[in-house]
Amino acid sequence: MNPDKTIGLVVLNMGGPDSLSAVRPFLYQLFSDRDLIQLPAGALLQKPFAALISLLRAPKVRLNYAQIGGRSPQLMWTTRQVEGVAGELGPQVRPYIAMRYWTPRADETVKKMRADGIEQAVILSLYPHYTGATTGSSLNDFARAVKKHHPALQYTVIREWYDWPGYLDALASRVRDGLEKFHEMVRDEVAILFSAHALPQKFIDRGDPYLEHVQATVKGVMERVGGNPWSLAFQSRSGPVQWMEPDTVDEIDRLAAAGVPGVLIVPVSFVSDHIETLQEIDFEYRMHAEKAGLPRFERAPSLNDHADFIKALAGLVEAHLGGGR
């Protein structure tokens, strides 16, 4: 890339509804994505399926979003993250966001980059662990937008960073912050439960590296944190397919039965607060843990815009621009 020209820094993320009325159209976009869900009958039934399933699920999902203020905070956090990273990198880097299922979408972002005169860019997936269902889908979406709206754009991609030392350092610091919530007499015995977003098992069976990436992250974090007992489970399962195991709820039950003095749950595949942390973990899993008889159930803070995480991402982009990543 030409260092004398402005570089666009585009972060890719899932996106989330910005109001309760946006929940159903957001779900429609989600279930229309054939990189995420491929019906046996092919593309012909994808949109009718998406229309039906979004209609059926919207009422419950709206209630979940109502519990956390009526909207997803993901765009707010993503904006703070990309602006923070661009600020670390200097005035030659201009920040952009491309969400997969809600605004700002890739088409809108690429048009804006063209209007801004951006000729070169770095694309950073905000999913640390690669899977075709998230990063792969977002990259395909961005490539289609570039081909359609700005074919002259030259860009490179950071598609995974599950083992980036700065990321592991920042996540380990959030784990230590979470452990501080427990009394020092039991702190070393608290079970650390890493919870990653589940995928259908068929993704893993066909060679998707997501599980290996998550496992490598957990290993790197625990090498930094110390000797607490730990385990890894998977959350946010839905639908009648086989999912990655164990389920986070089942692991909470196992730990309660084992008599641990407390559980610190660590959202490992999410880099900011959103529905899976604020509602699923903080409401549903906390209530379940209480019913299961766990003495204490706490969540490690999310990475959000913590200074160490922003510096870690800036270092990642710098290394990439320097050819080292």
pLDDT for position 324: 65
| Whole-number average pLDDT of the chain | 96
The pair phi, psi for residue 47, each rounded to 5°, is -70, -45
Catalytic residue selected from 12, 36, 139, 278 = 36
| C-alpha torsion sign, points 304, 214, 123, 102 | negative
pLDDT for position 139: 98
Confidence check: pLDDT of 39 > 90: no
Catalytic residue selected from 18, 251, 253, 273 = 273
Catalytic residue selected from 14, 27, 211, 278 = 14
Render pLDDT for 91-114 as a digit per residue (tens, 0 to 9).
999 999 999 999 999 999 999 999
pLDDT for position 178: 98
Active site residue 88: no
Render pLDDT for 255-301 as a digit per residue (tens, 0 to 9).
999 999 999 999 999 999 999 999 999 999 999 999 999 999 999 99
Catalytic residue selected from 100, 105, 274, 306 = 100
Active site residue 36: yes
pLDDT for position 239: 74
Radius of gyration for the chain, computed over Cα atoms and rounded to the nearest angstrom: 20
Catalytic residue selected from 12, 27, 30, 303 = 30
pLDDT for position 41: 65
Q: Look-up: residue for tokens 């083992």?
A: 163
Confidence check: pLDDT of 318 > 80: yes
CB 180 within 8 A of CB 188: no
pLDDT for position 240: 76
Least confident range from 38-47, 212-221, 283-292, 295-304: namely 38-47
Confidence check: pLDDT of 236 > 80: yes
CA 177 remoteness from chain centre = 20
**Which tokens hold the place of 115?**
């209007």
CB 72 within 8 A of CB 14: no
Catalytic residue selected from 65, 101, 162, 167 = 101
Q: How confident is the model over 33-44, as a mean pLDDT?
A: 78
Active site residue 180: no
Catalytic residue selected from 197, 274, 299, 306 = 197
Active site residue 101: yes
Q: How sure is the predictor about 50, in pLDDT bands with cuts at 50, 70 and 90? A: very high
Active site residue 276: yes
Catalytic residue selected from 280, 285, 294, 313 = 280
Render pLDDT for 156-197 as a digit per residue (tens, 0 to 9).
999 999 999 999 999 999 999 999 999 999 999 999 999 999
Q: How confident is the model over 48-66, as a mean pLDDT?
A: 96
Confidence check: pLDDT of 213 > 70: yes
CB 234 within 8 A of CB 270: no
Q: How confident is the model over 5-22, as a mean pLDDT?
A: 97
Cα dihedral 42→43→47→49 (10° resolution): 10
Catalytic residue selected from 276, 282, 305, 318 = 276
pLDDT for position 42: 67
Q: How confident is the model over 23-36, as a mean pLDDT?
A: 94
- Nearest-angstrom CA–CA distance, 214 and 232: 9
SS3 content of the chain, % helix, strand, coil (to 5): 50, 15, 35
Nearest Cα to Cα of residue 15 among 131, 83, 109: 109
- Nearest-angstrom CA–CA distance, 44 and 280: 33
Q: How confident is the model over 73-79, as a mean pLDDT?
A: 98
Active site residue 144: no
pLDDT for position 93: 97
- Nearest-angstrom CA–CA distance, 254 and 164: 31
pLDDT for position 290: 98
Q: What percent of the chain has pLDDT over 70?
A: 98
Render pLDDT for 124-155 as a digit per residue (tens, 0 to 9).
999 999 999 999 999 999 999 999 999 999 99
Active site residue 313: no
